[in-house]
Amino acid sequence: MPLINGKTGPMPSFGYRAALPALAAAMIIAAGTLTGVWGIAPARADDTADWKLCAGDKADEVIASCTRLLAGKLEAKNEVTALGNRGWAYNEKGDYDKALADYTSCLKVAPTNDYCMSELSDTYNLRKDYDKAIEAADAAIKNNPKSEYANYVKGFALFKKGDLDGAIASFSTSADLNPRFAKAYFLRGQVEASKQDYAAAIADDNKALAINADYDDARAARGFSQYNLGKLDAALADLDTVITRNPKDAWTLGIRGSVFMAKGNDAKALADFDAALAVDATADWMYTPRGMANFHLKKFADAILDFQHAVTAYPGSIEANAYLGLALVETGKKDEAKAPLHGALDSKARTDDERKAQKLALDKLTELGVN
């Protein structure tokens, strides 16, 4: 996975659907009122409890109650509602095949239903089948060009396929259609950050936070962009706020650790990296900066373990190879150090940090008498 600026880790994997249930809720029967997009009351009085549960936000209850309702004879609009709600619940559970089946059934009953068309595309995104997601989103947009959700879902698929300009266009359309759609601004900001246009990313995160001041994904992303612009105190303010609310946010802990390293506070950086990796030991990008913190603190044995993990995950990492070699030299393993030191010279440096690491590796090889 590529690193941003060669040092700070991958772009955050913020919850793509984190804000979507609220959007979907406006399109399904509202729990407790039995009215909503279709405005149709339950067919029988004894279905009332199931309709309330079918329109809820607890996936297991939604699936069970909607399934009971679908076992009976429903009017077409009620059938679409139950299928759409159950499809949403299956997605929440990660059962994407069943969700696809429900949205496909929904569209057989109501071929131009905007919600089910958009959610079909969304489900393909969740399955990482981005070509089908774009195809389904295009169909939804053709059916309803004013669907901010369909444009948003298409933007996400384009982003994941690497079409950054196309993604920005789709998210922009989504935000234009619904200027209160904070998620569209946030994800447009993510695309801009991936293009290293951090000023534009911050502007979009600001828009998202103006709509929802508690939008921690946007706040953490803004901290990330501020860090990359060298605005370390502003970055810390944002990251501190997010971590106070969620002390187990591994990605944000890792980025705050990077900020502390940039400020020269390796002890605080190490504490954050340790906390982050205790939550998510699979965050491979974090082992290089934690190794650097250990190296600076002269904890060379720990640094070696971190850099070995990083080199396994990213064999071409200039910094991980260079500092692995340097740490091995510090522990007296000079012969073992030669291979990673040479490995640091095998790739073309793209950043100042990588160029610095290569110089250190080359100097150490010269010191060891190795060409």
Q: Is the pTM of this model over 0.95?
A: no
Residues 6+ apart with CB under 8 A from 78: 38, 40, 42, 43, 69
For 39-81, the pLDDT digits (tens) are: 333 445 467 889 999 989 899 999 999 999 999 989 999 999 9
Distance CA 81, CA 67 (A): 12
Q: 55 φ, ψ to 5°? A: -100, 15
Residue appearing with tokens 């279905």: 47
CA–CA distance, 151 with 170 (Å, rounded to integer): 5
Task: Tell which CATH classification among 1.25.40.10, 3.30.70.1050, 1.10.10.60, 3.20.20.70 matches the domain 286-371.
Answer: 1.25.40.10
Q: How far is CA 362 from the centre of its chain?
A: 37
Cα–Cα distance between 186 and 209 in angstroms, integer?
Answer: 9
Crossing angle (nearest 10°) for helices 130-143 and 148-161: 160
Dihedral angle at the C-alpha atoms of 183, 189, 195, 196, nearest 10 degrees?
Answer: -150
Structure tokens at 166: 């196309």
User: How many angstroms separate the CA atoms of 173 and 152, rounded?
Assistant: 8
Q: What's the CA gap between 346 and 50, in Å, rounded?
A: 63
Give the residues of the chain that fall short of pLDDT 70. Answer: 1-46, 371
Q: How far apart are CA 191 and CA 360, in angstroms?
A: 34
CA–CA distance, 367 with 257 (Å, rounded to integer):
32
Helix axes 96-109, 76-93, angle to 10 degrees: 160
How many angstroms separate the CA atoms of 117 and 328, rounded? 57
Closest CA to 274 of 247, 300, 235: 247
Q: Is 4 exposed, middle or buried (0-12, 13-18, 19+ CB in 10 A)?
A: buried
Phi/psi of residue 19, nearest 5 degrees: -100, 0
362 touches 345 (CB < 8 A) = yes
How far are the Cα atoms of 87, 183, 231, 349 from residue 228, in angstroms, in the given order? 40, 22, 7, 18
Nearest-CA neighbor of 310 among 290, 339, 334, 338? 290
Q: What is the C-alpha to C-alpha distance for residues 82 and 74, in angstroms, rounded to an integer?
A: 9
Structure letter (DSSP) for residue 43: S
